[in-house]
């Protein structure tokens, strides 16, 4: 875990604001806040590289989704990819993204926000790539012009069927 106390505070603020902004149907179906993860629980759960469904928007305004592994580092999601990828090209034109991680009907994490590319020359790239190499055994730069897409979440929802398993 690399999160600072400030990272956890900011993440908890995002979670609380998201719950408060959620519509009545989402609040009811996700049983918020009783079955929502708090910041520390979310950080603990998202260790490693969970598989997510990552969604971008095409130039014609259509959604495009694909499964991919993600890093959760310092309270944010990062998508490892290459600058030549379709998802990176979409983000240059339209930065709006969504991301979902779920396991059946037992757990879900949903994020809506905006993405920006972090190229290898950026100082933020090195710690992300180090973690990626440790977990996956390879650098994103071995794929081509490796980048990470940083997700700036403006909404983050979670649901756990059995919250007592996350204490």
Tens-place pLDDT, residues 78-88: 999 999 999 99
Q: Per-residue pLDDT tens for 11-49?
A: 999 999 999 999 999 999 999 999 999 999 999 999 999
Closest CA to 80 of 6, 137, 40: 137
Q: Is the dihedral of CA 91, 84, 137, 121 positive or negative?
A: negative
Percent of the chain with pLDDT over 70: 99
Q: What is the pLDDT of residue 1?
A: 60
Burial-class residue 5 by CB neighbours within 10 Å (0-12, 13-18, 19+): exposed
pLDDT at 166 > cutoff 70: yes
β-strand partners of 28: none
The SS3 call for residue 51 is strand
Segments making up each domain of the chain, as ranges:
5-162
Q: What is the mean pLDDT of the chain?
A: 96
CATH of domain 5-162: 2.30.110.10
Q: What pLDDT score was predicted for residue 123?
A: 97
Flag whether pLDDT at 104 surpasses 70.
yes
The dihedral formed by the CA atoms of 30, 37, 51 and 5, expressed in degrees to the nearest 10: 150
pLDDT in the model for residue 167: 75
**pLDDT at residue 17, rounded to an integer:** 98
Q: Where are the alpha helices (DSSP H) in the chain?
A: 5-21, 24-29, 39-45, 86-93, 125-136
Residues 6+ apart with CB under 8 A from 159: 30, 31, 32, 35, 36, 107, 108
């Amino acid at each position: 875990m690399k999160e600072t106390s400030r990272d956890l505070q900011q993440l908890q603020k995002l979670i609380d604001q998201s719950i408060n902004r959620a519509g009545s149907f989402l609040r009811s179906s996700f049983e918020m806040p009783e079955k929502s993860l708090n910041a520390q629980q979310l950080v603990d759960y998202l260790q490693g590289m969970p598989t997510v469904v990552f969604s971008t928007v095409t130039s014609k305004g259509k959604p495009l989704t694909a499964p991919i592994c993600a890093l959760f580092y310092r309270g944010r999601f990062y998508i490892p990819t290459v600058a030549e990828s379709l998802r990176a090209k979409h983000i240059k034109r339209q930065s709006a993204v969504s991301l979902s991680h779920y396991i059946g009907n037992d757990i879900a994490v949903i994020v809506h926000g905006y993405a920006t590319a972090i190229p290898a020359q950026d100082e933020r790239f090195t710690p992300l790539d180090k973690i990626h190499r440790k977990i996956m055994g390879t650098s994103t730069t071995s794929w081509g012009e490796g980048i990470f897409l940083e997700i700036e979440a403006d909404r983050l929802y979670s649901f756990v069927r059995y919250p007592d398993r996350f204490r």
